[in-house]
Structure 1
Amino acid sequence: MIDYVNHLARMHVLVDAAAGRSNTAYVVDSRLYPNLAVDIIVPWLAQLVGVETATRLFLLASQTLVVTGAIALEIVVRGRHQLSGFAALTALYSLPFLWGLLNFEFGCGVALWAIAVWIRYRDGRWQAQIALHTIFVVVLFVSHLFGLGIYGLTIGCYEASRIAGYRQAARTLAVMGFPVVALYVYLIWSGGAIGKPVFDWWFIFKLVWPLLVMNGYNLSLSIALALTIAALLLFLGYNRVFGLTRPAILIGSGFLVAYLLMPTRLFDSAYSEVRLIPAIMTILPAFLTVSWPSRSVQSVAALVAVTIILVNAASIASVWSAYRSDYAEMIESFHLLPPGSTILIARSDGSGGVDTPMFYAPTLAAHYANAFVPSLYNVSGPIKKAPSKSRFEIEDSRDYLPTPISQLNSASGGGPAPAHVRGWRTDYDYLYVVGDQTVSIPDHLTIMMGSRRFSLYSIGK
């Protein structure tokens, strides 16, 4: 996955620092950030099983939370499980999860359980409701702010569908809002941050994301799966399998409005509206009524759903397994780097799709070679660049991706380029080119290791 490897590199740096093996190019800055689930859980778990296994277990736990949380929500709402498990498994390798946004996936799973608990205890003792709500708000706030937003949007729409008067509305709003306001005040007081105030709207993508969201490696397969899901929904609608409840209408409308209004980049966090798609896929089925007209209709629906799930999972597994030898070669290449080296990652301008799992692989050099890689992702997190590396600060989160070769050539000629790239020939010791290896490489580079998915070059001074 794209960001997974970057998270893994950061986990290594955190664990190394705790063990007294600090990489002097980075400093640990422990503050409250609304994006810390993996940074809290994995270093602790790594003491028992190692960093790589701990990170895999965190991913597995996140996926388990998503699927079981969707099922639990449907059982709480309708008293039985019929749809939500299928829907959650269908969404499990959608783009936001496939990109390796680990904290978001964990937060989404926790949010599903939190919604289920809210509905289960909403009519119970108010003390228990406040206590449980506060616990989930704190966990979600620390895990990922977007998970808290999904939770708040869903229970807000649910409560709006059941409103009985102004007094009840005021009490519910106070219960929902107080712990969030308290945490935000503490965040500001402690010097933490949500992210940079960057907001970009790319409205044209809102029309195509539903087609692109199902598979990040194969565009044709993603479109085919999305169209198959649409056909399945039309088939079920024609057979009047689903019924809309008032909560389903309000929750669906709330998510649609949020999807249309939300910036593509929110607090410099990219693809914000895309994250709403797997969220609504795992939430909305719980609030639908289901009535199967015949066993044959039910069997056809189950067969199509299982086929979608298995085809997508097989596609993802084939890509992941194909990269095992490439990651092994990448780690072997780190032995060629002197400790303290400064590394830049580049790619061809057209790289994407199946090239993306290599985009952040060289960031692992921060652990294996004690190197400095400025694109080791640290936005709103506990790892910061050391003051001596301040000139390598990346201002736009999109520039954490490998630098296109065209930007390197532009910078060499004095043309426009991100600040951390402008002096790349003198500022960096080594260059990794990941992805497409047929690209034309800039002059004055000496190849040290070549592979089918990456090459390592020494930069001539």
Structure 2
Amino acid sequence: MISPRQTSRPTASRFTRPQLAALFLALATLAAIPILTHPVPPLSDYPNHLARMHVIAVLDRDPDLARFYELDWHIIPNLMMDLVVPWIDRVVDIYTAGQAFTILTFLMIMSGTTVLNRVLFGGWSAWPFIAFPLLYSGAFLLGLMNYLFGIGLALWGLAAWVHWREAWLPLRLVLATAVVGLLYICHLFAVGLYAIGLLGFEIWRLTTSEAPRPWRILDFVLGGLPFLIVPVLLVRSPTWGLATQNEWEPTGKIDGLVTVIQVYSDVVAFGLTAAVAITAGWAARHGLLKLHPSAWIVFAVGAIVYLALPRVLFGSYFADQRLPIALAFMAVAFADLDLHRRWTMRAFCIVLVALLAVRVLEVQVTWRHLTRWTDSFRQSVQMIDRGAKVLVAYADNAQADDVRDLGLSHAACLAMIEKSALVTTAFTVRGKQILQIKPAWRDHADIEDGTPPSESQLVASSLRSVDAVQNYWDDWPSRFDYVYLLYTERGDENPAPAWMTMVYEGARFQLYRVVPTPPG
């Protein structure tokens, strides 16, 4: 039988374990600089997630939040932050807790990549560290924190499967079932990533094993048993109610691949890609770069799944475009670079540090500029009364598709942290989050994760009488205290001066206090 470690590394490697540990720690510290220096990084969903963590942590002792929100605990596939960050918040403030979870996510991904590479090739190597620059990706800019944490856990799970592959079958299946359960808590898509890696690896074993054919087939089939808990958990959770919310789009597949390496600068993305491609091509030509025998099958399974995935799955957007970054980390783990020569070791370290330094510098410089907007937003939040009801809307000419605008999309949720406010864009979708709006206030918020109303819709709503509220922004002058208008330009006029007064203007937003007195 072929061992998963048949491609073991030369024992003459010049990297000792202490050296590898020191290098990993140094690179992790470098990668974490933007996180450590920006308490509220300009990531799309991140402020919304952070606000939810805060509510979970303090709901039982904050009467204003308790007036609006409640917790509906279920085992849904989106819980990891909800279980971890509120506990960290007991020791530090919520912003520091978010930073700690983000850095923990980085460490999970990189250690998982390194350990999986170790069990596949039979020795520790610095090669997996080449994935450090990929920590900052399009998926990270969207703030998909639970999924990203799940990537790291899935890599650890695959490493455990490969390591225990020849162990007693029941033990291996029990361990894999535990991994699937943990991944389910992280994110449903993380379970899919684990399934892709395990299926590809097991197909390779099925076709190369020297065991009798009936036993090979039986062993292959039994490998799928741990995933049977997923449908059981799904049908018992409110997430099952989102099973019909799926949309498939043929466009955007290329964009999903681009988000693996592109963050803010096209020049940096092209430069990093070219540097890695040239280095990998040169190493392959000289026989220094090789793949694990199962790699091509794993990649083929991943490619098929990526092409088949819908854009929206179980109500979650960008379902397909989340996969490439996970496959990129897996690709690094399934490859190996010969570093037992002193000159290759030095050259690799130079390239590695340079690539990560360029990526960190790109993010740090961009965030320093963008967080002037988020800092301004935090200042505006101080103008809001405690326990207020805050409506979020978009300017009519909003251009919110630039990655530099991502930090504003959910920044209003900071009012939940700072002022215990009800914010209409808070993530409170049944089946996606345990945080829910109390029934008395459910018609004041977007509980379907839709698009905020435009300023024209607000104006139109203010001009007509409403017998029954159909949209949560209907009759807003009598039901909300403040309005955040996002993606504005400096000097934009008040769209409804009879109903609201500006109290703060930022670079890309305006905050208005609602004046409920009828005009005239």
Same fold by TM-score, threshold 0.5 exceeded? yes
Report what 2:412 is aligned to: 362
Report what 1:334 is aligned to: 381
Report what 1:429 is aligned to: 481
Q: How far 1:34 sits from its partner (Å)?
A: 0.7
The whole-number CA distance in structure 2 between the counterparts of 1:87 and 1:232 is: 11
Q: How does 1:3-18 map to 2 (within 5 A)?
A: 3-18=45-60
- The 1:317/1:398 distance shift into structure 2, 3 A limit, reads farther
Between 301-310 and 377-386, the greater mean CA deviation after superposition: 301-310
Report what 2:360 is aligned to: 313
Q: How does 1:244-393 map to 2 (within 5 A)?
A: 244-291=291-338, 303-324=350-371, 326-348=373-395, 349-351=398-400, 352-379=402-429, 380-393=432-445
Given that 1:161 and 1:247 are in contact with CA atoms closer than 8 Å, whether structure 2 keeps it comes out as yes
Given that 1:83 and 1:286 are in contact with CA atoms closer than 8 Å, whether structure 2 keeps it comes out as no
SS in 2 for 1:321: helix
Q: Residue deviations 1:28-78, cap 9 Å, x none?
A: 111110110000111122222232222211111111000111011111111
The amino acid of 1:258's aligned partner reads: V
Q: How far 1:428 sits from its partner (Å)?
A: 3.2
Q: Does 1:60 align with 2:60?
A: no
Between 257-266 and 79-88, the greater mean CA deviation after superposition: 79-88
The amino acid of 2:483's aligned partner reads: L
Q: How far 1:224 sits from its partner (Å)?
A: 4.7
Given that 1:355 and 1:434 are in contact with CA atoms closer than 8 Å, whether structure 2 keeps it comes out as no
Q: Which runs of 5+ in 2 are unaligned?
A: 1-42, 465-469
Q: How does 1:128-277 map to 2 (within 5 A)?
A: 128-163=171-206, 164=209, 165-177=213-225, 179-189=226-236, 191=238, 193=240, 195=242, 197-219=244-266, 221-277=268-324
- The 1:186/1:202 distance shift into structure 2, 3 A limit, reads closer
The whole-number CA distance in structure 1 between the counterparts of 2:461 and 2:188 is: 36
Report what 2:8 is aligned to: none
- The 1:226/1:93 distance shift into structure 2, 3 A limit, reads same
Report what 2:502 is aligned to: 447
Q: How far 1:420 sits from its partner (Å)?
A: 3.4
Q: Residue deviations 1:223-254, cap 9 Å, x none?
A: 55445544544444444543344311100101
- The 1:358/1:386 distance shift into structure 2, 3 A limit, reads same
Q: Number of residue pairs matched?
A: 455
- Identical aligned pairs, as a percentage? 25
SS in 1 for 2:123: coil
The amino acid of 2:261's aligned partner reads: M
C-alpha RMSD of the superposition: 3.0
Report what 2:61 is aligned to: 19
The whole-number CA distance in structure 1 between the counterparts of 2:53 and 2:93 is: 10
The whole-number CA distance in structure 2 between the counterparts of 1:70 and 1:423 is: 52
Q: How far 1:314 sits from its partner (Å)?
A: 1.4
Which structure: greater helix fraction? 1
- The 1:314/1:430 distance shift into structure 2, 3 A limit, reads same
Given that 1:37 and 1:103 are in contact with CA atoms closer than 8 Å, whether structure 2 keeps it comes out as yes
Q: Could you say which structure has the larger radius of gyration?
A: 2
The whole-number CA distance in structure 2 between the counterparts of 1:192 and 1:211 is: 30
TM-score (norm 1): 0.88
Matching residue within 436, 446, 449 for 1:397? 449
- The 1:230/1:354 distance shift into structure 2, 3 A limit, reads same
The amino acid of 1:375's aligned partner reads: T
Report what 2:513 is aligned to: 458
The whole-number CA distance in structure 2 between the counterparts of 1:412 and 1:452 is: 26
Q: Residue deviations 1:291-311, cap 9 Å, x none?
A: 579876776665444333221
SS in 1 for 2:161: helix
Report what 1:85 is aligned to: 128
Q: How far 1:347 sits from its partner (Å)?
A: 4.0
TM-score (norm 2): 0.79
- The 1:258/1:338 distance shift into structure 2, 3 A limit, reads same
Between 375-384 and 425-434, the greater mean CA deviation after superposition: 425-434
Report what 1:44 is aligned to: 87
